[in-house]
Structure 1
Amino acid sequence: MQSVIDAVLPVFALIGIGYLAAASGVLDAGVTDALNRFVVWLALPALLFAATAKMSFADIDHPGFAVASGGAMAATFGLSMVLDRRRGKRLADRAIEGLDAAYANSGFLGIPLGLALFGNAILPALVISVLLTACLLFAFAIVLIEADLARAEGGSAPGRWATLVRTAASLARNPLLVSPVAGGIWAATGLALPLPADRFLGLLGAAASPCALVTIGLFLHQQRERADTAEVARLVGLKLVGQPLFALAFAWLVPMPKPWFDAAVLLAALPTGTGPFMLAKLYGREAAATSRAILVSTVLSVVTVSALVAWLGR
Structure 2
Amino acid sequence: MLSVVTIVLPVFALILIGYVCRRTNRLGPHAASELNRFVVWLALPALLFSVTANSSWERLWQPGFLLAFGGSALVVFLLALVWRIRKGAAADAQLDALGAAYANTGYVGIPLCIIVFGENGLEPALIASLVVVCGIFALALVGVEVALQGEKALGPALRKVSRALAGNPLVVAPVLGALWAWGGVPLPKPASDLLSILGAATTPCALVSLGLFLAHKQQESTPGVLPLVAMKLILQPLLAWYVAFEWLELPTLWAHSAVLLAALPTGTGPYMLAEYYQRSGARVSRVVLYSTLGSLLTLSLCLIWLGY
TM-score where L is the length of structure 2: 0.79
Deviation, 1:164, is: 2.0
Alignment partner, residue 308 of structure 1: 298
Is 1:118 the counterpart of 2:113? The answer is: yes
Of 119-128 and 193-202, more deviation after overlay is shown by 119-128
2:274 to 274, 277, 281: 277
Inter-CA distance 31–94: structure 2 relative to 1 (3 Å threshold)? closer
The residue aligned with 2:138 is 135
Q: 1:183 aligns with which of 177, 181, 202?
A: 177
1:188, 1:278 → 2: CA distance?
33
**2:292 paired with 1:294:** no
What is the identity, as a one-letter code, of the residue corresponding to 1:30?
H
> What secondary structure sits across from 1:225 in the alignment?
coil
Quote the residue 1:97 is aligned against: 93
Cα separation, 2, equivalents of 1:95 and 1:56: 33
Assess if the C-alpha contact under 8 Å between 1:44 and 1:208 holds in 2. yes
Q: Which amino acid in structure 1 is aligned with residue 215 of structure 2?
A: H
Long gaps (5+) in structure 2:
115-121
Determine if contact 2:80/2:100 at 8 Å carries over to the other structure: no
Give the TM-score of the pair, scaled to structure 1. 0.78
CA deviation after TM superposition for structure 1 residue 67, in Å: 3.1
Assess if the C-alpha contact under 8 Å between 2:43 and 2:198 holds in 1: yes
Contact 1:270-1:305 within 8 A present in 2 as well: no
Question: Could you tell me which residue of structure 2 aligns to residue 2 of structure 1?
Answer: 2
Quick check: 2:229–2:291 contact (8 Å CA) kept in 1?
no
| Aligned amino acid, residue 165 of structure 2 | L
**What residue ranges of structure 1 are gaps of 5+ in the alignment?**
none
Equivalent pairs counted in the alignment come to 291
Secondary structure at the residue paired with 1:270? coil
Q: Distance in 1 between matches of 2:222 and 2:44?
A: 34
Q: CA deviation at 1:98?
A: 4.8
**Which digits, 9 at most, give the CA deviation of each residue in 1:276-306, with x for residues without a partner?**
6348746xxxx4xxx4422432232233222
CA RMSD of aligned residues (A): 3.1
CA shift, 1:105, in A, is: 7.9
How far did residue 126 of structure 1 move?
0.4
CA distance in 2, matches of 1:66, 1:275: 25
Q: Secondary structure of 1:134's partner?
A: helix
The letter of the residue matching 2:194 is: F
d(CA) in 1 for partners of 2:186 and 2:273?
A: 37
- CA offset at residue 198 of structure 1? 1.6
Aligned partner of 1:23 in structure 2 is 23
Which deviations, in whole Å up to 9, do the C-alpha atoms of 1:141-196 show, x marking residues without a partner?
Answer: 543554xx54xxxx3xxx21222222222222222222222112111222111121
Query: What code does the residue aligned with 1:168 have?
Result: S
What does 1:29-48 correspond to in 2, within 5 Å? 29-48=29-48
